[in-house]
Amino acid sequence: MHPDTAKYNAALAAGEREIGDLLAGEIDRALPEAENRIWHAHPVWFLDGNPVVGYSKLKGSVRLLFWSGQSFDEAGLAPEGSFRAAEARYTAAGQVNTVDLARWLAKAREIQWDYRNLVRRKGRLERLR
């Protein structure tokens, strides 16, 4: 786990820390080539400079966010925002289905929209893969 992600998780309440540690471990295992850093105050993983997955503490839950998740066609992910992102929210580590998570992470590698160049393209997303 990246030291900044470990520091982020250490600042969470006990139950949330358990969720964060589980998510970070599973993401690192599934996407070993991804760059992990704190971006906009929470842990995010990037493939070739493009954000693909991250999580953040919300009031009452931890949100797992896939930037291209709406294109995954997965019932366990809910649309988030006005672009292609999708999320899952957890209040306990036992709610995280690691089989589903592994499948979503595989799709995060294979299905990507170009968020890295979103500003340059004036808010227009293009599919990378």
Listed by start position, the domains of the chain span: 3-110
Query: pLDDT tens digit string along 20-74?
Result: 999 999 999 999 999 999 999 999 999 999 999 999 999 999 999 999 999 999 9
Q: Torsion-angle region of residue 23: left (phi > 0), alpha (psi -120 to 50) or beta? A: alpha
Amino acid (1-letter code) at residue 89: R
67 close to 51: Cβ distance less than 8 angstroms? yes
Residue that is written with structure tokens 């170009």 in the block: 114
pTM of the prediction? 0.88
Please tell me the class of the 3-110 domain: alpha beta
109 close to 83: Cβ distance less than 8 angstroms? no
pLDDT at position 112: 74
Would you state the structure tokens that stand for residue 48, as one six-digit string?
A: 């070739």
Query: pLDDT tens digit string along 74-126?
Result: 999 999 987 789 999 999 999 999 999 999 999 999 987 666 665 565 556 56
